[in-house]
């Protein structure tokens, strides 16, 4: 809680959290490289398949 505003909650990320964010950034870069080689239609197909997989989980 903030000492000056009771509506505010201060949050800090841990060192472990920062490490995880760095890993996610690397993963995002790799995914972007893979997707860059797809046509618009292929990218739409991948998106639809991932959506379908997500809704079944």
For the stretch 20-32, pLDDT in tens is: 999 998 888 888 8
Averaged pLDDT, 6-23: 92
Within-domain flag for 28: yes
Number of domains in the chain: 1
In 3D, which of 41, 20, 43 has the Cα closest to residue 31? 43
Query: What pLDDT is attached to residue 57?
Result: 63
- 8 in a domain, yes or no? no
pLDDT at residue 28, as a whole number: 87
Q: Is 47 inside a domain boundary?
A: yes
pTM value > 0.95: no
Q: Is residue 50 part of a domain?
A: yes
**CB of 45 closer than 8 Å to CB of 53:** no
Any domain includes 25:
yes
Q: Note whether residue 33 is domain-resident.
A: yes
Q: Would residue 10 count as lying in a domain?
A: no
Query: Domain containing 52: what range?
Result: 15-56
């Amino acid at each position: 809680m903030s000492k000056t505003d009771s509506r505010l909650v201060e949050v800090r990320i841990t060192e472990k959290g920062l490490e995880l964010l760095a890993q996610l950034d690397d993963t995002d870069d790799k995914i972007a490289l893979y997707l860059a080689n797809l046509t618009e239609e292929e990218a739409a197909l991948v998106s639809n398949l991932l959506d379908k997989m997500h809704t079944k989980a």
